[in-house]
Amino acid sequence: MQDDNDALPPSWRQRPKPVGFEITYRLKGDTLEIDSTRKVDQVRLSAVEHVRFVYAPSNISSKGFKTQLRLSDGKSITFGNLSWRSLTDMERDDAGYRAFVEALSAAIVRANPRVRFLAGKPNWNWWLLTVVSGLSLLMLIMFTLRAFLQGSNSAGWLGILLAIASLWQVGPMVKLNRPRELQSGEVPDDLVPRASTG
């Protein structure tokens, strides 16, 4: 997904949806070029007000991470480490994604020293996610206890399995997306992995 030729400007290629065009992001000095096949946009890096890193899995088996650039005109640009090959197959290149994000972050700081770097979801979004996740888990626990108390062991064991699956899926969403302020130019290891772990 990343260009192999070191002589070329740092770039990242991603097909963000199962159906659609591949998008190429290319650094050109103080500009980010976005080539979506149909058109090419030029974004001044000095217009980036904040950079946000989030954990955003695409499905139950893919560890998806995204980088969001918020511009001074209110628009945003989002790209991630996962790229669709087909309707059922995804490619993950954490090392290439990390290299591009590091180069992009350094270029943004040079173009706009006042830019903010953030990790996780916005506060209200994270709190909503946390409360809904907690309530869902509490309902599963109550369902499981009630099932065992009424002698319906199979329903009780199903509740335990669902609770474990929920913790496995929702736990990282809550933990990794905890809102926090980063140092200028910082690229967090937990939200921009250095290498694919499977």
Strand (E) positions, the chain? Answer: 11-14, 23-28, 31-35, 40-44, 48-55, 65-71, 76-80, 82-84, 90-92, 116-119, 180-182
Helix (H) or strand (E) holding 81: none
Q: Of the spans 2-11, 49-58, 138-147, 154-163, which averages the highest pLDDT?
A: 49-58
Reduced to 3 states (helix: H, G, I; strand: E, B; else coil), residue 109 is helix
Question: Which two structure tokens, joined as six digits, stand for 138?
Answer: 């509490």
pLDDT given at position 97: 95
Distance (Å, whole) CA 92 – CA 33: 22
Higher pLDDT residue, 65 or 162? 65
Give residue 196's pLDDT.
62
Q: How far apart are CA 97 and CA 194, in angstroms?
A: 8
Average pLDDT over the chain, rounded to an integer: 87
Residue count (the chain): 198
Q: How many CB atoms lie within 10 A of CB 45?
A: 21
**pLDDT of the residue at 60:** 54
- The pTM assigned to this predicted structure is 0.80
**DSSP structure class, residue 58:** S
Q: pLDDT tens across 86-126, in order?
A: 777 788 889 999 999 999 999 999 999 999 999 999 988 88
Per-residue pLDDT at 70 exceeds 80: yes
CATH architecture designation of domain 11-120 = Roll (2.30)
CA gap 157, 72 in Å, rounded = 52
